[in-house]
Chains A and B, each alone.
Chain A
Amino acid sequence: MIDYGKILNSKVTDIKPSGIRKFFDIAEQMKDVVSLGVGEPDFPTPWHIRSEAIKALEKGRTRYTSNQGLLKMREEIAALTKRKYNLSYNPQTEILVSIGGSEAIDGVIRAVVSAGDEVIIPQPSYVCYEPITVLAGGTPVIIETKAENEFRITPEELKKAITPKTKLLILPYPCNPTGAIMRKCDLEAIAEVLKDTNILILSDEIYSELTFGTEKHVSIAEIDGMWERTVVVNGFSKAYSMTGWRLGYAMGPEEIIKQVTKIHQFSIMCAPTISQYAAVEALINGDDDIAEMREEYDMRRRIIVDGFNKLGLTCREPLGAFYAFPSIESTGLSSDEFCEKLLYSKGVAIVPGTAFGKGGEGFVRASYCYSIDHIKIALERIGEFLKELK
């Protein structure tokens, strides 16, 4: 008989499935759940973008594109990046179209990290960086960002985390789940630490278009001297409400992108062709859609933050992404307990902060990718839950 234990790669089997998987399964099976749990927009993809995909299908644009992605798409990515962030990338050599931002993250980490290399990962943050680093043979070095620093990483924390083995710094801002952003001055302080090192930055800016208040998103690649040591990852999922289209991209120095493209070429071939044609339309004519959705998110953001604070769950103002990250410390419950009890007693699904790293203890993530009415109902139920706790 075959011994799967000997077949399987221990690096893979050692990755623990998320501790809250069970909780997820329960939520999915329960009826009448009022969820604030998903990490994707509720808006359908704008019609003019969907319409371009239909046209591409009708015209039979159903074959592979070049490995790097349609040149037209890369040109439009370059144009958008220039007009929004004043960053220049050569569409021929410095941009790779990937399957969502996720594949670009995987590709960059694999292209850079060898056995024993250290990758600095701020947490709480999205869950993919750590396992991908481990699969590549690297060692994750976690910086636990602090609520009092608004979950930004500080130059002191970064200095402490750097060793001679450090290869890569992950910069996941605007941040899922904390809603934190790094302002220009924050990035300059980080740049100061990095400038004389040989450390590369993987800046995951998938939520860049969802930056609120008076702040505008700034990429670390815009800071003096950082372009040469930064790979920016972005995509279409969040900004254009295109999660299911699976389309993202990496932009960076040719030396890096060339190697990431090799990995992409052998494991993926190319990103979905029809999605790419739709994305060209999004890049050319989608700015208004983004603005409109952002305005709607902004209203929801204010309602949910105000709602949590009124309920006595301290909630800082998240300046990016589409999550509120209130503290539940006042309840005396752990994040896991809070979410599980809330789900069972009131049918409200939110995500414990610990799903995003140990530093998320004492917090929960509530997505506001829901209508105002939906958010109000969820807040009401959370209010009832808190009363019953007392």
Chain B
Amino acid sequence: MNVKLLKLLAKNARYSINELAVMLGIDEQTVENEINEMENNGLIKGYKGVIDWEKLDTGAVSAIIELKVSPQADHGFEEIAKRVMTYKEVESVYLMSGGYDLCVVVRGKSFQQVAMFVAKELSTIDAVNSTATHFILRRYKELDIALCDGDYDDRGSISL
């Protein structure tokens, strides 16, 4: 396992094998082998783009749904989490500490669609006691990447 390599991939999965090799001071074959190995053993789960969908103006929305659930005998929260994650609308599912149990990130074509998904699908699951839906209005930063105009370089072009 190469933690430095993982950090680089987490930062930018599109670095070429050559660039990774140069940055890490190892040869390309080694980088390739290490990535393959980490993909195979499930340490690297996948690679995705960070996209500012708002720019497309499709009307699509995301919401964070707080679920309070009754844990199942034997399985605790596991079973219910696995049930929830099967929906294609569900982007992420997390088990939480604090005021509620499962945090579910849902993405849909419209406010209406997400609301109906929660009402018809999530709330009707037996173990789900209550839901609270929070729509995301604007994304400022996602996975370390600023989606709004961030800081700018005020250093000028040249200094000695």
CB-CB under 8 A from B12, the residues of chain A are: 372
What DSSP secondary structure best describes chain B's contact surface?
loop
Tell me whether A302 and B25 are in contact (CB under 8 A). Answer: yes
> Closest chain A residue to B158 by CB distance?
A37
Tell me whether B157 and A127 are in contact (CB under 8 A). Answer: no
Residues 120-161 of A, flagged 1 when their CB comes within 8 A of B and 0 if not, give: 000000110000000000000000000000000000000000
Report B1-41 residues with CB < 8 Å from chain A CB: 4, 8, 12, 15, 19, 22-25
Decide yes or no whether A60 CB sits under 8 A from chain B.
Answer: no
Given A302-B23, A302-B25, A303-B19: A42 touches B153 (CB 8 Å cut-off): yes
> Closest chain A residue to B153 by CB distance?
A42
Shortest distance between the CB of B7 and any CB in chain A (Å)? 9
Tell me whether A127 and B23 are in contact (CB under 8 A). Answer: no
Decide yes or no whether B155 CB sits under 8 A from chain A.
Answer: yes
Decide yes or no whether A27 CB sits under 8 A from chain B.
Answer: yes
Decide yes or no whether B148 CB sits under 8 A from chain A.
Answer: no
Decide yes or no whether B51 CB sits under 8 A from chain A.
Answer: no
Interface size on A (CB < 8 Å)?
A: 27
Given A42-B153, A44-B151: A303 touches B22 (CB 8 Å cut-off): yes
Tell me whether B160 and A349 are in contact (CB under 8 A). Answer: no
CB-CB under 8 A from B157, the residues of chain A are: 24, 27-28, 30, 33, 35, 37-38, 349
CB-CB under 8 A from A24, the residues of chain B are: 157-158
Given A299-B8, A303-B23: A126 touches B155 (CB 8 Å cut-off): no
Decide yes or no whether B86 CB sits under 8 A from chain A.
Answer: no
Decide yes or no whether B156 CB sits under 8 A from chain A.
Answer: yes
Tell me whether A42 and B160 are in contact (CB under 8 A). Answer: no
Decide yes or no whether A289 CB sits under 8 A from chain B.
Answer: no
Tell me whether B159 and A37 are in contact (CB under 8 A). Answer: yes
Distance in angstroms between the alpha carbons of A70 and B160 in the assembled complex: 30
Distance in angstroms between the alpha carbons of A148 and B15 in the assembled complex: 34
CB-CB under 8 A from B23, the residues of chain A are: 299, 302-303, 372
CB-CB under 8 A from B151, the residues of chain A are: 44
Distance in angstroms between the alpha carbons of A176 and B158 in the assembled complex: 14
> Closest chain B residue to A128 by CB distance?
B160
Tell me whether B156 and A28 are in contact (CB under 8 A). Answer: yes
Distance in angstroms between the alpha carbons of A27 and B158 in the assembled complex: 7
Could you list which residues of chain A lie within 8 angstroms of chain B, going by C-beta atoms?
A: 18, 23-24, 27-28, 30, 33, 35, 37-40, 42, 44, 126-127, 176, 295, 299, 302-303, 306, 349, 351, 355-356, 372
* 3 residue pairs, one from A and one from B, having the closest CB atoms: A37-B158, A27-B157, A299-B23
